[in-house]
Each structure stands twice: as structure tokens, then as C-alpha cells.
Amino acid sequence: MTEVILYSLVSGITIIIGGLLASADRFPNTVLKEKILHGIIAFGGGVLIAAVAFVLVPKGMALFSIPLLSLIFLFGAVAFLLLDRFLSKQGGQFAQLMAMLMDFIPEAIALGAVFAHEPQLGLLLAIFIGLQNLPEGFNSYRDLIQSGYSKHQILLIMTPLSFLGMIGAILGYLYLHDSPQIIAALMLFAGGGILYLTFQDIAPMSKLKNHWSPPVGAALGFLVGMIGQKLVG
């Protein structure tokens, strides 16, 4: 339980770290800064795809039939699509924040649940969650600033959100550690949603015409996933 609390706390606290990094940005808006920001966004997308490929999908593929596997995965994509459309109609000021929570919470529940039987998989999932929350927290802060919120208001919103993952992980550890199929279904659901978000929001945001930093950032993000899988897999 101590390890679950520690790893889920560290993976969630990167939300507020990303927000703090964005709040500390005092550099002028130059081409170099734009390339770096787009590279950070693309890096987050690469990490998300790695999380889907190496952590979220394999267990479901091993446990479920093709029809059930497809149904759960597509249900995740459709759920995120509906949320995305709803947030767009509301003006979109919380879109990045809500999108982050929609993948963070099911992943955190799965983190706690798998830790009882597969600590290495739980550790890998915690690393992926932390890495993806950092750029998402950074981008959420920028979105909210542009919507008129002050620095203190945004940090007040983001700080408690950083601890939601710990609550989800504890609940998963206590109540789902003997339910491998539910864990696998949660992972598949999150995987479908993450792929939707990656190609709907993150990849278009990272594009920068005639510059190489975004695609290289995406490749580096995926490389981090491969290294993590190799180290603990």
C-alpha cells in the first residue's frame, strides 16, 4: 500500500509541476520558443502512444476475445469523443484539463489494481502516467491563462487534481486487485480514449510547418516508453 500511495502520488504531482513550469515561463515569444513548446506537446503525444502500446493494450489482448476487445477499446474512443464535443460546446476552457483527467483517473485505478500482482507493471504505468501528466499540466495551465484565469486560481484548481490519482490507485488496490478482467477493461478503455485524444488534439497542436522539433519530440517520447518497457518488462 505504501508503494501504491508513493508511486501514484509522484505520477499525479507532475500535473502541478507542469503548471508551475508554465507559470514560470517569462521568455519572449520567439520562433525558438514556439519550436520548444511544440516539441514538448509532441513528446507528450509520443509518451501517450507508448503507454497505449506497451501497458494499456497488451493485458486486454491477452484476456479478451476479439469482439469484446474491440467493443471496450472503441467504447473508450467514443466516450472521449463525446466528452470532447461537450467541452467544445462549453467554450473549451477546461478541455485540456478534463481530457487529462479522463485518462489519468482510469490509469491510476489500474495502477493500484495491478500493483498487488505485478509491481513492475505498476511501476511502468506510474512512470508513463507521470510523463504524460507533465506536458498535459503545462498545456492545461496555458489554456486556462488564455481563458482569463489568474495564476493563483489555476494552481488552486490543479493542486487537488494532482491527488485524484492517489485516491483512484488506493481504491483500485483495495477493491480490484482480484479482478484482472476489470483491470484489463479499464486499461483498454483508457487506451482507446488516449488514442482519440492524441490524434484529435495533441498531434494537430504539435504540428509546426517546416520545423523538425515536433516529430522528433514524438519519437523521443515513444523511445522513453520503449526504454521503460525494456528496463522493467
3, 228, 26, 209: which is closest to 132 by C-alpha?
Answer: 228
Mean pLDDT of 97-109: 75
Residue 232's pLDDT band (boundaries 50, 70, 90)? Answer: low
What's the rounded Cα separation, in Å, for the pair 120 and 91? 41
Mean pLDDT of 209-215: 64
Q: Which whole-number Å values give the CA distances from 216 to 40, 158, 194, 220, in the listed order? A: 10, 29, 20, 6
Mean pLDDT of 200-218: 64
The DSSP code for 92 is S
Mean pLDDT of 184-188: 88
Residue 170's pLDDT band (boundaries 50, 70, 90)? Answer: very high
Instruction: Inform me whether the pLDDT recorded for 223 exceeds 70.
Output: yes
Torsions phi, psi for 32 (to 5 deg): -60, -45
Instruction: Inform me whether the pLDDT recorded for 225 exceeds 70.
Output: no
Angle between helices 180-197 and 66-89 (to 10 degrees): 50
**pLDDT for residue 126:** 87
What's the rounded Cα separation, in Å, for the pair 22 and 5? 26
pTM, two decimals, is 0.77
